[in-house]
Amino acid sequence: MNFSERMKKLAETDKEALELIQLELQRQEDGLEMIPSENFVSMAVMEAMGSVFTNKYSEGYPGKRYYGGNEFVDKAENLAIERAKRAFNVPRANVQPYSGTPANFAVYLATCQPADVIMGQALPDGGHLTHGWKTSFSGIFYKPVQYHVKQDGYIDFDEARRLALAHRPKLIWVGASAYVRQFPFKEMAEIADEVGAYLAADVAHVSGLIIGGAHPSPAPYCHIITTTTHKTLRGPRGAIIMTTEKGLQKDPELAERIDKAVFPGLQGGPHDHQTAAIAAALKEALKPEFKEYAHQIVRNSKALATELMKNGMKLVSNGTDNHLMLVDLTTVAKGHGVFAQEALETAGITVNKNTIPHDPSSPFYPSGVRLGTPALTTRGMKEEEMTAIAKWVAEATRETEKYRLPAEKSEIAEYVKGAKREIRENAALKRINTEVREMCRHFPLYTDGTI
């Protein structure tokens, strides 16, 4: 059954909703999805996500529910748990978190008291909002200490150790949302162990790479692992919290406290359809072909990074070890990410504007763009396509070189609005869009049931 055949009933009952779904499908079909935190699920995962499990309410855990009728929900959740434990080589897993931020919040609730000192990688340096950034709950309810990256883009371990020794955090995070090198689990574990802190690895971006053997595992080094399930893992939007053997050795009750933090601490009933889809995605991730997929993501990423630099683009850290890269646009102007993102979207290439380390502009108008290869690789694209894509990215970005953010803050919003209007009418970008669509036709998505 292809995607259109699954929409027959909706076509009968709600043509407006169907039209929006079809337009989004067309956008995904016709463009290059290069936001590194996005991917395409299989038809099997989509079917599990849309299953009758969406009808059930299941507060509690398998065998300990507050509602009746959970015999098969229990089995589905246990299936997802067992597959997660096998995939990540851990003894305990909780598959109920609704998404990544609630999962990380549960880690705080299980390990810290309000106002405890916590440490994480600074958001402008590639870190995650929930690792102590000032506008997040993690920076409001706890006392954050932030470590940074050096000029070469690698984490400054000397600074991290100095901060840990000076502030003695209760919890340290390793992992990020825009860090282009391998996550240094071993090095951060040495720092955490020295000060007696819990070490939590947030591997949301690279969990699929870890399962596929294309990135080192945090399991031997960290006490807790959190991940979303919809990035390189290629599953539904959800999350998992795992407790490692090292974590249980440090605190035998850690897994139970995490469970209590998720429910009843932060959430009510789990999304059972999401749990079933996580189980389906994990089964796919445990297959031998997923290993090849994970390694191809990295091969594509390295090839794309090399070609972007050949086309004159500056990359943070001069390359990548994983699935993503950061383009440094300060060579054009500070705060230029907003213009590059708009140009690339007009060209049919979806990326996101992003801060770069030591960004001279603000997070609202950052100086970089973040892009990656998971979704391209899911479509079957390889190194040859990365060469063509790099040329399009470079050419599209060059079309924005005349734009500069005004020095006066009050003038920025209106200037950006006008620039975007011009960019959307740019003939060169429209030509690239046509070429992008032609490439995409050779790598179809759901319209013929290929994924």
Catalytic residue, chosen from 101, 111, 228, 373, is 228
Q: In this predicted model, what pLDDT tens digit does every residue of 55-92 receive, in sequence order?
A: 999 999 999 999 999 999 999 999 999 999 999 999 99
Residue 449 has pLDDT above 90, yes or no: no
Tokens standing for residue 68: 């009746």
Residue 261 has pLDDT above 60, yes or no: yes
d(CA 411, CA 414): 6
d(CA 68, CA 110): 28
Residue 125 has pLDDT above 90, yes or no: yes
d(CA 217, CA 220): 7
Residue where the block lists tokens 């790479």: 209
Catalytic residue, chosen from 92, 181, 231, 302, is 231
All domains in the chain, ordered by first residue: 52-285 (3.40.640.10), 289-448 (3.90.1150.10)
Phi/psi at 374 (5° precision)? -60, -50
Percent of the chain with pLDDT over 70: 98
Which helix (H) or strand (E) segment holds residue 61: the answer is strand 60-61
Catalytic residue, chosen from 38, 47, 57, 401, is 57
Other Cβ atoms within 10 Å of 98 Cβ, number: 17
Which helix (H) or strand (E) segment holds residue 241: the answer is strand 239-243
Q: In this predicted model, what pLDDT tens digit does every residue of 194-204 receive, in sequence order?
A: 999 999 999 99
57 is catalytic: yes
d(CA 11, CA 412): 43
Q: Flag whether the pTM goes above 0.85.
A: yes
Q: In this predicted model, what pLDDT tens digit does every residue of 137-164 receive, in sequence order?
A: 999 999 999 999 999 999 999 999 999 9
Catalytic residue, chosen from 59, 193, 395, 422, is 59
237 is catalytic: yes
Residue 51 has pLDDT above 60, yes or no: yes
Q: Residue 149's pLDDT is what?
A: 96
67 is catalytic: no
Average pLDDT for the chain:
96
Catalytic residue, chosen from 125, 202, 284, 321, is 202
d(CA 32, CA 376): 7
Q: In this predicted model, what pLDDT tens digit does every residue of 211-253 receive, in sequence order?
A: 999 999 999 999 999 999 999 999 999 999 999 999 999 999 9
d(CA 133, CA 202): 15
Q: Which residues of 276-293 are buried (b: 16+ CB within 10 A; e: fewer)?
A: bbbbbbbbbbeeeebeeb
Average pLDDT over residues 371-395: 98
228 is catalytic: yes
Q: Residue 47's pLDDT is what?
A: 94
Phi/psi at 353 (5° precision)? -60, 145
75 is catalytic: no
Which of 191, 202, 140, 141 is CA-nearest to residue 167? Answer: 191
Phi/psi at 325 (5° precision)? -145, 160
